[in-house]
Amino acid sequence: DTGVSQNPRHKITKRGQNVTFRCDPISEHNRLYWYRQTLGQGPEFLTYFQNEAQLEKSRLLSDRFSAERPKGSFSTLEIQRTEQGDSAMYLCASRPLSTHEAFFGQGTRLTVV
């Protein structure tokens, strides 16, 4: 059971730098989600893929954020020109088409200094 894998687990970056996170979903899970969680709050939805198609994006996903899921397998989330307000835990989840349960990764904790 490999579960949802996210890399890196931690990232410290200077303000203004670009960062990229990777999510490897459970094999054959065609739905993939990105969430962001700040300290003391519940996770907030960012974007959703079904296979390689990005079908929904939250208003939270500013122009500096971009997500891809080439070939419908792993996904990447890139943040350009990072700001201190981007500091958060970035969570990835996946699930098959016909089940209720979403499986979350351990997250990538981003700190912008």
Residue 51 lies near other proteins (rule: CB under 8 A): no
Question: Which of 13, 30, 50, 80 is in the footprint of other proteins by CB under 8 A?
Answer: 50
Binding-site string for other proteins from residue 69 to residue 98, where x marks contact by CB under 8 A and - marks none: ----------------------x-x---xx
Spatial distance between the Cα atoms of 42 and 27, rounded to a whole number of angstroms: 26
Q: Is residue 28 within the footprint of other proteins (CB under 8 A)? A: no
Q: Residue 20: name the closest of 95, 98, 74, 80 by CA.
A: 80
Which is closer to other proteins, CB of 14 or CB of 100? 100
Identity of the residue, 45 or 74, whose beta carbon is nearer to other proteins in the bound complex: 45
Beta bridge partners of 57: 47
3-state percent breakdown (helix, strand, coil) of the chain, nearest 5: 5, 50, 45
